[in-house]
């Protein structure tokens, strides 16, 4: 079973940067797609970014393209989300997750971390 733990969230001013990390347990890390999602209060969880097991293929939500970068280090079983030029609308709880498929669909992700809060002030 895959266990995921996020870290790196916090409070930042608009225009600033944060880097989120997600450490995964288990031998399956190198064979799964890893994704980042976010959820604001009262709203649905939404896709942010995903990366293939090799790191060669990435996908981003339109709202974060050009600002966020997803990467992974399989030796460290860790996936990262570098967030630049942050906006107040980026404020949410950010979750990492894993899926057997290359997808941005929430129900197809099998394992989830506990989430880390990102707050962007105006």
In tens digits, what is the pLDDT along the chain, a chain of 122 residues?
789 999 999 999 999 999 999 999 876 666 789 999 999 999 999 999 999 987 789 999 999 999 999 999 988 989 999 999 999 999 999 999 999 888 999 999 999 999 999 999 99
CA distance 97 to 15: 26
Q: Is 24 helix (H, G, I), strand (E, B) or coil?
A: strand
CA distance 78 to 105: 21
CA distance 57 to 31: 13
Q: In the structure encoding, which two tokens stand for residue 94, read together? A: 């950010």
């Amino acid at each position: 079973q895959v266990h995921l733990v996020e870290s790196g969230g916090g409070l930042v001013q608009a225009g600033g940067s944060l880097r989120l990390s997600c450490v995964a347990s288990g031998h399956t890390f190198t064979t799964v797609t890893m994704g980042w999602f976010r959820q604001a209060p009262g709203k649905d969880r939404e896709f942010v970014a995903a990366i293939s097991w090799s790191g060669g293929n990435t996908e981003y939500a339109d709202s974060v393209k050009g600002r966020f970068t997803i990467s992974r280090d399989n030796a460290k079983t860790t996936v990262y989300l570098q967030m630049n030029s942050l906006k107040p609308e980026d404020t949410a709880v950010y979750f990492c997750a894993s899926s057997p498929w290359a997808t941005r669909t929430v129900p197809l992700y099998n394992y989830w971390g506990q989430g880390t809060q990102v707050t962007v002030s105006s």
